[in-house]
Structure 1
Amino acid sequence: MKRKPSPKAIGAFVTVATILLVGMVLFFGSTSLLTKSERFILFFDQSVNGLAAGSSVKFRGVPVGSVERILIRADGQRSRSTAIPVIIKLDRSRLERDLGVAEASFSAETIHESIEAGLVAQLNLESLITGQLFVEFSFEPGALPDWRPHLEKVNGMLEIPTLGSPLDEITTKAVKLISNFGEIDVERLNESVNVALENLAIVLEGIDSEGISQSIISAAGDVRALVQSEDFKETIIAAKEAFETIDATVQTFNLEQGPLAETMASWTGQFDKTMAGLDRLVSESSDLISPESDLRYEFETTLRELGRAAKSVRLLVDYIERNPNALLTGRPEDE
């Protein structure tokens, strides 16, 4: 004899099921169960490494959806197309509620008008550390004048054009730069640098900087001794007295007219110039050799700096001869 189902058990089961259903609706209300979405397909002619299902889709930095799937080929894709199809999902509910996008904006006609106005998608870097990518929409009028769809037939999703990513250009330049470095003949460069440094060392060793300094100092001392000597002073005094005697003698002649006047005028002018030059020489020599003179101080300082520079160059040459790789790796921190 069969037992009849208990009305209480049935009622309890229905009640529990209803509660669970309401709870699920409340819990998943903000997710896809109640979210309106619109799907589009994009084709990228570049690597999509770093893009994955769930990656962000943004419009000028504002999140508007996510990547749903990444395929190898799509239904209806042209046979010669090697682009990677990416299906994205736009959150219509958020676009309409938060961003004020009209529902009519998702119609095929409006999408085509937006494409004609320059709507394009592009891959951008989400994180420099992880290399994660995201899809970004923007308007670039005239960026794709000869754009041709990758789909030969519409399979229910509209295709939106894509632009090449600036990441491709950066990667290409980096690869080219690394390739150029690889073509450098490091051994030959190292040999050339060593030869140049050896030649420089030979030239520097051939310069007798100390001898030059001593010669200059010796010459300055000789000039000083000459100027300060009693013989030099007596010579100057004697020359002045001789010219004064000549001047007194010629006063007895007619110096205003005739050849003698012209000759004496010429001699007098030359004598004045000679004496002026001699005075300047004595003054400048005194300034040069005076222990307190700025000129002598600067001259001696310059000689000391030249000596230190020559010593530093010799040390650099010796170090590079012992460590040629220092030209490329630099000097170790512990030295």
Structure 2
Amino acid sequence: MTEPGSAPAHAPAARRKGRRLSWIWLVPIIAAVGGLLLVVRVWMEAGPTATISFQTAEGLEAGKTQVRYKEVNVGLVERVALNPDRSGVIVTIRIDKDASSLLQEGTQFWVVRPRLTLSGVSGLSTLFSGAYIGVDPAGDRSKNAAGFATKSAFVGLEIPPEVTQDRAGKRYTLKANDLGSLDVGSPVYYRRIPVGEVVGYHLDKAGEGVDVQVFIDAPNDAYVNEATRFWNASGVDFSVDARGLQMRSQSLLSVIVGGVAFDTVEQRARVAAKADAEFVIFSSEGAARAQPDGVPLHIRMRFDQSVRGLVVGAPIDSYGATIGQVDSIGLELDRETNRFYAVVGATLYLERLGAKTVGEIKEYSGSSLAHPSGKLLTEMIAQGLRAQLRIGNLLTGQLYVAMAMFPDAKPVSFKMEATPEIPTVPNNLDQLQMQINSILTKLDRVPLEALGTELNNLLRGTASLVRRLDTRLAPEAQAMLKQASKSLAAVGGVLSPDADLPASADTALQELARAARSLRELADYLQAYPDALLRGRPQDAPPTRQPTRQPARQ
């Protein structure tokens, strides 16, 4: 039997065996601690994530597509999924910790793919490496900049920006009536040197024009000031003047893809324009360099003749100078005559007449050209100021409106209104047409049918008379011709050398010569003895022959 005091002797040995811990348990503990430390390190070194919305995920692949800034890898696409309404995709990216400052307000993201634009070809490297997401950060590039605002949700661009936000220069807005041949990437020229490009365009708020955004690179943006004027330099500008045919263009590229040019026309203090300043873009260089139009004066004109060939924009000419343009062309009905007439609306720019003329206008009409009193215009119309349609191009038949003085014009009553009506006169062609119509009207009144009948009767009588002359007078005329032939033959016989008439004529001529000689001797005698006419010739004196005196030759 066991003694009662023996059990306590074995108890301490059992307790010592249960407290022993095996060293093998240290391995998983160390591994767990190391893994936890590694996870903490990775979590601490991992950069932030962000989501980008695109319309399509073309070329994007989770775990492969990179995020690049200045061609440096700064992140990776982790996930690509549809957005809740399935109108696009949401791309989740993770940015490296040292590039976390890129995730700020204003940063732009886009997918870089091969693109062909007016400015060239871009993204060719993606043909081999695949598409990637480009980054254009905004604001201060320093991650410790004051006021740094992070952002985790962005809307990606479907088209890469033409100008990155770190590009030095300024943006300007050009107001145009229409876009013309301009497009994103069209060059901007200053003195025929490219200094910028068109970066965008959109309709204005009213939808009546186009706002074109251009970017001028530094330091060339300093040449844009308040007096700068922009014009459309697209294509080739042809003009014909006294110097002949002229052709102007900025460059071959502007002929193909369009372009914009600018220059400072007015010579005054040049203050550099601020960014986002607005300018008006002119249609041509000539229009841009023209003198300012000033306050416009709206007028209307009534033409009773056709205005075919007159278009909106046609010039208003005064003695060779363009002082305005046609704004509208319409028809109205004259209730008194029930005839239509053309109403032409136009705008006159009085400041184009020169400072001296404007000063005289202000003396008559007051200091404000916007609300003239009409005194000068009333006097000029009384003296014969009229508007007239004239042909500007014989080939195309285009018309323009000429403002000139016509002293012989009929007097008209004129009343100055908000939109005064300038009296008109028909042009020379219309006057010629009216004269031709008048002549034709008079010719219509001539009884041509009766005259034709009488003329036919006259011709018949003439033909009958000719026949009578042929039948009755022809035999008598033949007899007279025969008698005349006989008479001429007789005269020829008398005048022949063998006839008696030539001999008799010869004898008569000799007698005439002797008689003339005797008369000459008598004259010589009387000249020597003039008293012989009174006393006569002495009878006792024998006849003597006086020597013949030759008359003195003159």
The TM-score, its normalising length taken from structure 2, stands at 0.33
Rg larger in 1 or in 2?
Answer: 2
Question: Normalized per residue, which structure has more helix?
Answer: 1
Higher relative contact order (CA closer than 8 Å, sequence separation 6+)? 1
The TM-score, its normalising length taken from structure 1, stands at 0.50
Question: Normalized per residue, which structure has more strand?
Answer: 2
